[in-house]
Structure 1
Amino acid sequence: MCGLFFSEGAVQTFQDVMGADQDRYGRFFHFLLAEGVYLAPSAYEAGFLSAAHDDAIIDTTISAARKALQQL
């Protein structure tokens, strides 16, 4: 289980979560979706990795995330 927040500092408290950049997460989500990678549509939802995710899927996700982060 994992989560992703865009913030200037560490996200450790609920207040930190509320201060995270939701617009940036939305842009990241839509970029990955366009690349065929589906994340939770809200940063407040958890993501899960399982044995069903093989190396090819993980590599695709990493590649799409790198492209997205370069544009954000």
Structure 2
Amino acid sequence: TLPLALAVRPIGKLVLVGSCGGAEGMAEMQQVLDFLEPLDEQIARIIAAHEAPTAPAAAPPRVRPALSARP
């Protein structure tokens, strides 16, 4: 199990299952890490976009009472 973190904030975990050990297992683990490295920037962008404050909605126009015309 590999913890996934953005800076110091935990964002998930990755569980690898396999039966390789020794040098072969380390080589395969390095391939996985090489695959995940470019995802770091993409994950950071997704989280930043999700947490970005949104602009407040425009206030609805104020409704003023109609002035009744008196005859």
Fold in common (TM above 0.5): no
* Larger relative strand fraction: 2
Rg larger for:
2
Q: Which has the higher contact order (CA 8 A, sep 6+)?
A: 1
TM-score by length of 2: 0.37
- Counting helix residues as a fraction of each chain, which structure ranks higher? 1
